[in-house]
Amino acid sequence: MDRLPIVYVRGYAGPTAGINEQVDDPFYGFNRGATHVRVGGDGDPAFYQFEGPLLRLMTDEGYQLLVRGDQHRYLRGVEDASVPPASLWVYRFYDQAATTFAAPPHESLPERLLGRLRRRVSAEGFDIESAAAGLYDLIELIRRKTGAPRVFLVAHSMGGLVVRCMMQKVCFHPDADGRPRSSAKELVARFFTYGTPHGGIDLRLDAMDWAQQVFGPAGSDIFAPEKMYGYLEPKAHFGDRPPRSADFDPQRLPEQAFDTDDVFCLVGTNPKDYGLSRVPVGPKSDGLVRIERAYVRGAHRAYVYRSHSGTYGEVNSEEGYQNLRRFLFGRWQVALALAGLPGSVPDEPVWQADTRLTIRGLPIVMTEQSAAHWCPVQLSDEIRRRDGDADVAVPVAGTFLLHRDRLRHAFSLRVFTLNEDDGRIHLTDHLEQVPAWADTLIVDIRPGGAGGEGAGLEAWVAWNSMVAGSPESFDPITDGLPAEARTPAAWRRENGKHVADIALPPTARALAVLGPNATLRVEVRDRRASAG
C-alpha cells in the first residue's frame, strides 16, 4: 500500500495552563510510549515496553521525521516535490494559543494573580474552526512539498473533531482569497481516530451537561452534542442549534464530505484508569468518551481495553498502533458477520455475544466486545433491528491484514443468555460466566491461490473444538481435522469480495438465537485491487 504523508492531530489540552504544558512536547504526545499493560482475568498491571506510534512507524514502515527546528517553517523553505512522501507531520494548532512563546508582560501582583486564574479556566486563542482551516492549509502545503496526491490523518480525541470540521465545513467554503477549496476526498486517503467523541461528550448529571453547553469552560462546549451542529454543518455558525427539521446526527459523516469506508475509529472500553471525569461520564466509556459516542456511523471500528489517555491510554498502546498500522497499510480487509439467523426472537431471554479477534504473532487482542467491558454484541437487538429480514447479516468483528505468505487470525465467539424480570436479571437458573455456546474459528489465508471463482486467495478454516490438538501444531489449521475435511474453504465472489459461509457447529445451531441455518460469514477484500 502507498506510503503517504501522515499528519497527527492531538486532542483537547484544556485551559491555557494545560495548553502551555502540552506545547512543551515537540510531537504533541504522538511520540509517547508506555511500559504498563493489564493482563489476566483481574487486569493486573504488568511490564510491556511499547515505543510509541511515532517511533514504530519509522522502524516498521520506513517513515521519516523531518523537523529542522520547525516542521512548518521547514516545509515552506524547501522546493516543491522534494520531500519524501513517507514522512510524519504534527499539526501544532495549539501553539498560537500558548503564552510561553513570548516574553511575559509587566503586570502588577493583582494582575498576575488574575492572569493565573484566567489561564486555568479559559482557553483564549483557540477556535475549532480556525484550527480546522489551518489543518486544511497544512495538508495542501504537505501535498505540494511531497508531491503526494493525498495524506493519512491520525487524530486523538478532539483532534478528530478538528478533522471533521475541516471535512464537513471548511472544505465547502472558499479560502480567504475567495478561491474554492478542494474536497476532503481529494485531500485525505484515510482517517483514523483514537477515542474521538464523534457523538459529543454526554455526562450523567444533567446539571453538568447544562453547564458544559452554557458556560463551556476552557472551550469544552465544543463537546456538547447540540453545539457540534455549528461547526459540522457548512451553513451553520458556532453556537447555532440544529433546527427541529434538520435531523442532525453528529455521528453521521455525510457521503459528499468523505467516504466512511476510509474511516477507522478506535473505541476505548477501560474507564477505571482515567481521571475523575470517569465519575460523571460513567462506566460504559474510556473514562471520558462513552462507547456508543466514540465512532462515526458506518466506519470501521475496534474495541480495545484502554482508557482515554494516560499510562493505559489508547494512543500510547500496542493495540492502538496495530490497528492503526493495519488500517493504513493492510492489503486485506476482513469482515466477520453472523448470517442465516432467524427473522425474529422472543422478548425473553436476552441474547448477547462476547467476541474477540486476534492475529498470529501479535501480543495483543485487535478488538474485543464483551459484557465485562460494557460492550457485548446485543444479538437480540440486532435481529429485531433487521425487521424480519433474515438475509441481513449481523456484523461481529473486522480487521485488516498485512501482506504475508500465510495470514492467520482467530475469532472467538461466546453466546450468553440473560433472563430479565422488569429490567432486573432473574438469577434462578443463571450460571455466571457459563456461555450457552463458545468456540473459536481459526482462519489461515494465503494470497495467490489459483483456480475457481476465488482465484487470488486461498483459505483454510476450522472451529477449534474440531481440531485434534493445539492449533499451533497445524499449519494450515485443517491439518488437525479428519482427512475428508482438509480442503480449503469454498469462496464465491460478491461485489469484488471473496466470501465464504462457515457453518457453525451443531451445538451452536441448536440455539434459538442462531438457528439451524446459522453461519459465520467471512468476507475478504483486496484493497489494492479496489484502489486500482
Beta-sheet strands, E only, within 454-531: 457-463, 492-494, 497-503, 519-526
Q: What is the pLDDT of residue 244?
A: 80
HSE-up of residue 269 (Cα within 13 Å, Cβ side): 20
Contact 29, 310 (CB under 8 A): no
CA distance 442 to 235: 50
Segment among 70-84, 180-194, 332-346, 440-454 with least mean pLDDT: 440-454
Look at the block and give the residue holding cell 473486522: 398
| Dmax (CA) of the chain | 88
Residue 449, pLDDT > 80, answer no
Nearest-5° Cα angle at 179, 175 to 181 = 65
> CA nearest 123: which of 198, 23, 30, 205?
23
**Residue 201 predicted with pLDDT over 60:** yes
- Contact 76/119 with Cβ under 8 angstroms? no
For range 366-395, the mean pLDDT = 90
Band of pLDDT at residue 123, cut at 50, 70 and 90: low
pLDDT of residue 209: 42
- Highest average pLDDT, of 204-218, 240-254, 379-393, comes from 240-254
For the chain, domain boundaries: 6-329, 336-531
* Residues 125 and 101: beta-carbon distance below 8 Å: no
Grid cell of 517 as nine digits:
441455518
Q: Which region among 273-277, 294-298, 382-386, 486-490 has the lowest average model confidence (pLDDT)? A: 273-277
Find where cell 500500500 sits.
Answer: 1
- Which pLDDT tens digit goes with each residue over 50-107? 999 999 999 999 999 999 999 999 999 999 999 999 999 999 999 988 888 876 666 6
Nearest Cα neighbor of 185 from 137, 237, 254, 234 is 254
DSSP 21-80: HHTTSTTTTTT--EEEEEETTTTEEEEEEE--HHHHHHHHH--EE--TT-HHHHHHHSPT
Q: Which three cell numbers stand for residue 152?
A: 493519512
Written as nine digits, the cell of 255 is: 457521503
Q: Which residue has the cell 437480540?
A: 380
E runs forming strands in 311-374? 332-339, 350-359, 367-369
DSSP state of 290: B
Residue 428 has pLDDT above 90, yes or no: no
Model confidence band, residue 277 (pLDDT cutoffs 50, 70, 90): confident
- Please report which confidence band the pLDDT of residue 422 belongs to, taking 50, 70 and 90 as the band edges: low
Q: What is the mean pLDDT of residues 101-118?
A: 64
Q: What is the pLDDT of residue 210?
A: 37
CATH number for 6-329 (one of 3.40.50.300, 3.40.50.1820, 3.40.190.10, 1.10.730.10): it is: 3.40.50.1820
pLDDT at res. 104: 67
Query: What is the end-to-end Cα distance of the chain in Å, rounded?
Result: 11
